[in-house]
Amino acid sequence: MVLGIIAIVAATLLAWVNQLTAEPIKAAELAKQQAAIKEVTPAFDAVGQVIAFTDEAGQSISCYPALSNGQCVGIAVESYTNAGFNGYIQVMVGFDMNGNIVNYSVLKQAETPGLGTKMVDWFKTEKANQSILGKNLQNGELKVSKDGGQVDAITAATISSRAFLDAVNRAYTYYQQAQASLQAPAAQN
């Protein structure tokens, strides 16, 4: 009976703490998302209507048009992969209107500290063939050099590197679809 009472009190306290922290956590995630959009796209003054897609796995992919004086100057794509060494990786990748990668931000990952976690900065470094910034995927997907590609993998973290590039490649696919949907109304006028 005492154990039952303790379990009920503990469950009630956990539910209360969960309810108490749910809103601040959601607000923090939204703030992180907004900061990532600013970080990865060309300078803009407003974010347009979110363009949402559902991929083949049933996951949501969100695209955020960056507007300057009413014109789209870039698109931030919130992408993901489940192929990381420790599973799920979520990134925000920004493209200009020519399809060049402006920047990226890693939103969520649980890769090995000191190895896979280096993805946060590794692919921005102008050293050897690490950087993906300025690359355009129009002529094919990004791959690590070990797989015949043009990007140097993180030392001792090839699986994490492949996963990161998988998320970037997925982002480009949905960038193209978002760009086409933005141009479709203009073509009808």
pLDDT of residue 28: 87
Kind and range of the H or E run holding 62 = strand 60-68
- pLDDT digit string, tens, across residues 153-163: 999 999 999 99
d(CA 37, CA 49): 13
Q: Is 136 helix (H, G, I), strand (E, B) or coil?
A: strand
**What pLDDT, on a 0 to 100 scale, did the predictor assign at position 185?**
58
Token digits of residue 157: 């973290």
| Segments of the chain with pLDDT less than 50 | 187-189
pLDDT of residue 34: 87
* CA dist list (Å): 47 to 3, 101, 129, 157: 53, 18, 32, 35
Please name which of 78, 96, 83 lies closest in space to residue 160, comparing C-alpha atoms: 83
Q: What is the pLDDT of residue 126?
A: 87
SS3 122: helix
- Amino acid 186: pLDDT: 52
- Separation in Å, CA 68 to CA 17, 46, 55, 72, 91: 42, 7, 29, 6, 23
**Single pTM value for the model:** 0.84
